[in-house]
Amino acid sequence: MTPSIVGRALRPTLVALALLALLVVFDTALAGTAKLLLALGVLATMGGGAALRAAASDSAHETAPVPVLLGLGLAAAETPVVPLAELLVGVAAVAFVAWLADDPDRPPAGVARGALEWSLPMLAVGLAWASSFLLPPTAAPLGVAGGLLAASLIVLVYLVQRPELFETAGPATI
Amino acid sequence: MTGGVSARETFRWRSRSFLLFGAGAASLAAGVLLARPAFLYLALPLLTAPLAATLLGPQRAPTARLTWAVEGSAQEVRVAGTVTFDRPTNPRDIEIEFSTPPGLTEDRPPEVERAGSELRFILHWSASAPVVVPVPFPRAIWVDPAGLVERPVRWSPTPLVVERYPVELVHIGAVRLERTIAAPGEILSRRIGADGEFFGIRHAAPNEPPRRINWTATARTGRLMANEYQLERTGDILLLLDARPTSLGRTVDAELLALSAAAAYGIAESFLREKARVGLGVYGEFLDTVPLAGGRTQRVRIKNALLKVRLTRSPGPDERCALSLRRYFPPGVTTIVFSSLADDESRYLVPYLRRRGFPVVVLSPSALPILTARPTLSAEEEELVARLAKVVRRDRIARTWEDAPVVDWNDYWSLGGLVDLLRRPGRRGRGV
């Protein structure tokens, strides 16, 4: 059954994304009114994205991520250099990827099917954040090593999935 | 398989990926220039998500098998199909697009259902007029759930053709035709008269030769009865399509030609079912032919030739058509000419054919139903124009009747007039 316009626009991932973006805004160092205006601006961009996605036109549907990205950019611009706020920006960006997978025009359960697509960026954000804030400053090379290790693991997964890369062409004659 | 296309070539980034790459790069640059780490955290998922989609999706184009068939009858056309995907492709990640072939209109949006490793679909179309048209292959592509990358599905579906023609044509094959040439391996009797195995007794035609009258049966039944032989039961027929442009304009001409092709296919199929030999000629600038033959292979040949029929841009002269026909077909073969008779030039083809020895019947699809369906003037003016057009057409048909019998094909879903005309004794046009 085709979902209603509200159902098409108001996805669970959009709610999560808007909440994360609001948390980012409330972590900013702006004054009360400016913070409220920023929050309204970010919510407006999210609403714009949702409305574009619910629109019948294909071109509008394709441009839906643009206002949402703008909203995230606005929120990130005012984020102070604080560990929790930065982590929230990263998680909001991951929620944005999950929102892309939660498309009402495609078969259901997109977020579950695309779990690997958003969990890999989540891993990258987690590693970057942990190496920046959880490790002592003297152990920065350890963070770099952790990043390299993660990259190696990704390459390994890629190579294991493509065994034909190790195959060599057989001789032309016996 | 789409032979020759490598799996790597089929991979494509979607526009959304470029958006994410662009936003990620801009965010990265802003983070470095403004010394704001939050931008870097924003950039990280945007840049890694398309890469993750590439890495974790299928590494080569997914393969699938399509089983489909045309269902429905008369104007209703239903195409039902099942696409079976090889593991590990999930049908929910497949986007499938359908295009409606010319001559058909979409009644309802396609029904698509995904279950297990299969994707089932039903297309609902309708044919406003007789049509023979191939169904375009659906376009199936694997798209990751976030819509960032895609790979077209590789498959080799069997071609499917929608065939819709007037129902009366199913019985037209029962019409008796003249035999013009011997079948391969057939040795004609040197004796005068009909030859071959005796088949049965039938009512005699008015022009029946006395040798063929069965006098015993006539005495028993009280009316003239004639013997019928096996060889008489099959005959030869030539279908000639006039693919030259007329004053009606290319759009209307193309529609009328498509109608003629559909009717020709229905006639050919019916006669071939009755073991008759059918030939096809398409005359545009030059003559394209399928020589006389019977059987299933001939059906495929004729269908393929009819699917290729297009309106020509440079019309050839009438006499060229008649001359060329003599190279491929024996004189005396019953010929059905499909012509709109929209102008005098198309009318003059008939006497040329007669002079070359082809008994002709003209089946003329009328353009009036098409033209009246697209009004451009006021209601009164349209009515007046329609009446004038009808008078002109009647006059043209009357003039053509001087050379050959004409069937005015007004109701596109009925060809009872043609069947009646061909069944009538001495109906196969006027000989030389």
Mean pLDDT for the stretch of residues B242-255: 91
* Calculated CA dihedral for residues B169, B174, B179, B180, nearest 10 degrees: 0
Cα end-to-end distance, chain B, whole Å: 54
Q: Which pLDDT band holds residue B1 (cuts at 50, 70, 90)?
A: very low
Query: Are residues B48 and A96, on separate chains, in Cβ contact within 8 Å?
Result: no
Cβ pair A99, A72 in contact under 8 A = no
Query: Phi/psi of residue B65, each to 5°?
Result: -125, 135
Mean pLDDT in residue range B219-243:
83
Predicted interface score ipTM higher than 0.95: no
- Where are the domains positioned within chain A? 5-106
Nearest to A113 among B36, B39, B145 (CB): B145
Q: Parallel, antiparallel, or unpaired for β B360-365 and B334-338?
A: parallel
The label of the residue with tokens 């269908």 reads B303
What class is the B64-163 domain? mainly beta
Which pLDDT score is estimated for B4? 44
Residue with tokens 């124009």: B385
Q: Which of A86, A89, A118 sits opposite B49 (nearest CB)?
A: A118
Over residues A120-137, the mean pLDDT reads 81
pLDDT band (50, 70, 90) for residue B431: very low
Topology of domain B168-175+235-423 in CATH is Rossmann fold (3.40.50)
Kindly give the pairing relationship between strand B360-365 and strand B406-409: parallel
Helix (H) or strand (E) holding B381: helix B379-401
Q: Are B279 and B236 in contact (CB under 8 A)?
A: yes
Q: Which of A86, A92, A101 sits opposite B146 (nearest CB)?
A: A101
The residues of B whose Cβ lies within 8 A of any Cβ of A are: 15-16, 19-20, 23, 27, 30, 36-46, 48-49, 52-53, 55-56, 59, 90, 92-93, 95, 114, 143-148
Choose from A1, A88, A100 for mutation: most chain B CBs within 10 A: A100
**If we measure between CA atoms, which residue out of B393, B391, B392, B371 comes closest to residue B382?**
B371
Token pair 């929230």 in the structure block, residue = A88
DSSP percent split of chain B into helix, strand, coil, nearest 5: 40, 25, 35
- Report yes or no: B207 and B275 within 8 Å, Cβ to Cβ: no
Contact B337, B350 (CB under 8 A): yes
Residues 6 or more apart in contact with residue A49 via CB below 8 angstroms: A14, A64, A65, A66, A67, A68, A71
SS3 call for B220: helix
Contacts of A81 in chain B (CB under 8 A): 36-38
Sequence length of chain A is 174
- Contact between chains at A100 and B147 (C-beta distance less than 8 A): yes
Pairing of strands B287-293, B277-283: antiparallel
Q: CA of A137 to nearest chain B CA: how many angstroms apart?
A: 16
CATH 2.60.40 domain extents, chain B: 64-163
Q: Which long-range contacts (CB under 8 A, 24 or more apart) does A131-139 make?
A: A132/A83, A132/A86, A132/B37, A133/A83
- pLDDT, one tens digit per residue, over B259-271 is 999 999 999 998 8
In this predicted model, what pLDDT tens digit does every residue of B168-216 receive, in sequence order? 888 787 777 766 666 566 555 555 455 566 767 888 878 788 888 899 9
pTM, entire model: 0.74
| DSSP code of residue B231 | G
**Min distance B103 CA to chain A CA atoms (Å):** 26
Question: Tens digits of per-residue pLDDT, B332-361?
Answer: 888 999 999 988 878 889 999 999 989 999
Residues A120, B49: C-beta atoms closer than 8 Å: yes
For residue B129, the 8-state DSSP code is S
**pLDDT, average across residues B97-105:** 91
CB–CB contact A86 B27 (8 Å): no
Q: Would you call B56 and A100 a contact, using CB atoms and an 8 Å cutoff?
A: no
Within B233-286, where are the H helices? Answer: 250-273
Decide: B102 and B257 in contact? Cβ < 8 Å.
Answer: no
pLDDT tens for A9-33 read 788 899 999 999 999 988 888 888 8
- Distance from the Cα of residue B344 to its chain's centroid: 27
Who among A65, A85, A117 is closest to B145 (CB)?
A117
Tell me which DSSP letter residue B10 carries.
G
Find chain B residues with C-beta within 8 A of A89's C-beta.
38, 41-42
The span from the CA of B44 to the CA of A92, in Å, is 11
On the 0-12 / 13-18 / 19+ scale of CB atoms within 10 A, B259 is: buried
From the CA of B107, how many Å to the nearest CA of chain A?
18
Q: How far, in Å, CA of B269 to CA of B285, rounded?
A: 27
- Residue B97's nearest CA partner among B107, B77, B116, B83 is B83
Where would I find the H helices in B308-378?
318-328, 344-347, 349-355, 368-372
